Amino acid sequence: MRLLRSLVLGLAFPATLASQTIPGPEYAARRDSLAARIDSGVVVAFGGRAPVGPDRFLQLPAFRYLTGFLEPDAAFVMVVRPGGSRATLFTSERDPRRALYDGFPPDSAAVARQTGIAARRIGALPAHLDSLAGTGLPFYTLRDFANADAAQTDSLTRGASFMHRFADRHPGLTIRDAHPTLDSLRTRKSPAEQAMLRRAIDLTVEALREVMRMLRPGMWEYEVEAMFQSAFRRGGGDGPAFVSIIGSGPNSTQYHYNANDRRIGKGEVVVMDVGAGYGGYAADVTRTLPANGRFSAEQRAIYRIVREAQAAAEKVARPGAPFEAWREAAREAVARGVARLGLTESVDATFDPPWAEQCQTNPVACTQAFLYMAHGLGHGIGLEVHDRPHPWYGAGTFQAGDVFTIEPGIYVSRKLLEILPDTPKNRAMIAKVRPAVERYHDIGVRIEDDYLITDRGIDWLSRAPREMAEIEAEMARPRDAASR
C-alpha cells in the first residue's frame, strides 16, 4: 500500500506545486474555464505574502486553485480575449542572504516548467497592468483573503490596496469581482480534488479514533488538541486545516470555542471539531465524547436528537435536492426533540430573541428551538474549510461533485436564558423551560460529517465511530491499540 502510494505520488508534479495529486493539466483547465466564463478581460489574483511572524507560509486558496504555485509574494495575471488567453505569473526575488533562511525561489524557467505559466519578476507588475489598462478590457480581481468568511473585512490587504491605487491612476476603468465566477468553478470537486479531500478526511477519522481511545477525565483540552496535531502531521497532512475546537463542559456549548485551555472533568461531554489539511484541502469533522467513556442519560437524550437531525438531513441530500428542504428536515428534528425534553414550550413556539431584527428575513430565528442551534447546518469543504457550496442559507440545489458537511448541534446552557430580553413572552417561556435547561445545563453536542454528492445519491466520507454505542466501544478499547 505504501509502495503504491509512493508510486502514485512519484508520478505527480514537483513538490513545489500545490497538491501533489492535482495534475498540472487540471490547473490549466481551471484557467481555461475561468477564461471561458469571462470571455474578455484581465484577471488579477494576488498570492499570499511571506509571513511576517513565525507562521509557516500558506498559499491563498483562489490563487492556489488557478496556479498551484506555492511561493509567497506572487501575482497572477491572465489576459482573456475571445481568441485565447495569456497568463503570466509575477514572482518575487529573494535576497541571497535571506534565501539561506527561506530557500532559493525557483527561477522563471523552473516556474514555467512547473506551472505551465510564463514567469516574470514581480517588479514588472505595475507597468504591465498600466499597459493593459489602455486596452479597454475590464479587470477582474481575486482578492487576497485566506478565507471568504473574511471577505467583508478585507480592506487593507495588499491586493486591495494595490487595486485601489491602480484604479485611482486609471479613472473610468471597469474593475469587477472575479470571486463569484471562480467560486462557481470551485463548487463541484473534480475526481482529483475528491481524492485530496478523502485523504484529509481519512487522516481526520484515524485521529478521532486514536483520541477516542486516549481520552480520560483530568486531561487538558490542549493535550487533546496536541494529539490531533501530531496525528495529522504523522499521517503526512499539512496539519490542522483550522484551529481545533476542543470544548469540554461549559465550553461544549460555545460553537467556535478554541482556547482549549481547560481541564476536562468527569461526567462532561467534549466537543471535538477538527480537520486535517492535505495538499491545501480541508476536512471538517466533529465528534462529541463523554469524558469518562459512557454517556449519561441527559447526554444521551441530547445526542439522540442531534443524530436524528443529521440523519434526516442525510436522507434529503441528493442531486437536485433543494437546500431549503435539507435545512428544514434537520430543523424539524431539532424542534421536535427539544420540545420533547421541555427545552421549549412546544414544537413551533416562538420567543423574543436578542436578534429580533433577523426574524424579518428568517422567521425560524424567532422560534424557541433556534435558541439551541443558532448556526448553519453545513457548508462545502475544499481549499477553504467553508468552501462552496454554502447551503446553510439561500436557495439552491445539491449537485454531483459537492463535498460538504452536515453538522447539527444542540447546546444547552443557563446563559441562554440570561441573554433573553425581558419581555412578557420571554418571562412566560423561561418559567416553563428553566427546569429542563437546568437539567441539561452545559451539555453541548455537535455531530459533523463530510459527504460527497454522487450521481446516485450521497456518500458518507467521514466514517469515524458516530453512534453512541460505537463511540463507547471505541473508548473502551485498550489505549495501546491507539499506537498501532
Cell numbers given for 60: 491563498
Judged by beta carbon, residue 210 or residue 284, the one nearer ligand GLY is 284
How far apart CA 62 and CA 179 sit, in angstroms, is 8
Query: Which of the listed partners (ligand GLY, Mn ion, none) does 411 bind, with a CB threshold of 5 to 8 Å by partner kind?
Result: none
How far apart CA 97 and CA 112 sit, in angstroms, is 25
Segment holding 226, helix H or strand E: helix 221-234
Judged by beta carbon, residue 222 or residue 472, the one nearer ligand GLY is 222
- Should residue 448 be labelled a site residue for ligand GLY when binding is judged by CB under 6 A? yes
Give least dist CB 97 to ligand GLY, A: 40
- As beta bridge partners, residue 206 has none
Judged by beta carbon, residue 351 or residue 370, the one nearer ligand GLY is 370
Give the C-alpha distances (Å, rounded to integers) separating 186 from 59, 147, 160.
16, 14, 22
Query: Which of the listed partners (Mn ion, ligand GLY, none) does 366 bind, with a CB threshold of 5 to 8 Å by partner kind?
Result: none
CB 410 within 8 A of CB 302: yes
Task: Give the residue nearest to ligand GLY (CB).
Answer: 273
Q: Return the SS3 of 312.
A: helix
Give least dist CB 409 to ligand GLY, A: 9
Q: Return the SS3 of 111.
A: helix
Q: Using CB under 6 A, which of 402, 407, 449, 450 touches ligand GLY?
A: 407
What residues numbered 240-259 form the site for ligand GLY, per CB under 6 A?
Answer: 242
Strand arrangement of the beta sheet that strand 84-91 belongs to? 118-121, 84-91, 75-81, 41-46, 139-142, 175-177
Q: Where are the beta strands (DSSP E) in 267-398?
A: 269-274, 276-278, 281-282, 285-290
CB 287 within 8 A of CB 273: no
CB 310 within 8 A of CB 233: no
CB 279 within 8 A of CB 258: no
Give least dist CB 145 to ligand GLY, A: 17
Q: Using CB under 6 A, which of 71, 202, 225, 284 touches ligand GLY?
A: 284
- Should residue 449 be labelled a site residue for ligand GLY when binding is judged by CB under 6 A? no
What residues numbered 369-398 form the site for ligand GLY, per CB under 6 A?
Answer: 385
Give least dist CB 283 to ligand GLY, A: 10
Give least dist CB 399 to ligand GLY, A: 21
Is the previous residue joined to 353 through a cis bond, with omega within 30 degrees of 0?
no
Give least dist CB 146 to Mn ion, A: 16
The total of other beta-carbon atoms located within 10 Å of residue 170's CB is: 16
Judged by beta carbon, residue 88 or residue 253, the one nearer ligand GLY is 253
Q: Using CB under 6 A, which of 71, 193, 221, 273 touches ligand GLY?
A: 273
Judged by beta carbon, residue 71 or residue 273, the one nearer ligand GLY is 273
Nearest to 146 by CA among 257, 47, 19, 71: 47
Give least dist CB 375 to ligand GLY, A: 8
- Should residue 450 be labelled a site residue for ligand GLY when binding is judged by CB under 6 A? no
Sign of CA dihedral 153, 156, 157, 163: positive
Q: Return the SS3 of 310.
A: helix
CB 34 within 8 A of CB 78: yes
Judged by beta carbon, residue 71 or residue 407, the one nearer ligand GLY is 407
Judged by beta carbon, residue 73 or residue 284, the one nearer Mn ion is 284
Judged by beta carbon, residue 368 or residue 405, the one nearer Mn ion is 405
Q: Which residues bind Mn ion (CB under 5 A)?
A: 273, 284, 405, 407, 448
Judged by beta carbon, residue 68 or residue 444, the one nearer ligand GLY is 444
Binding site for ligand GLY (CB under 6 A): 242, 273, 284, 385, 407, 448
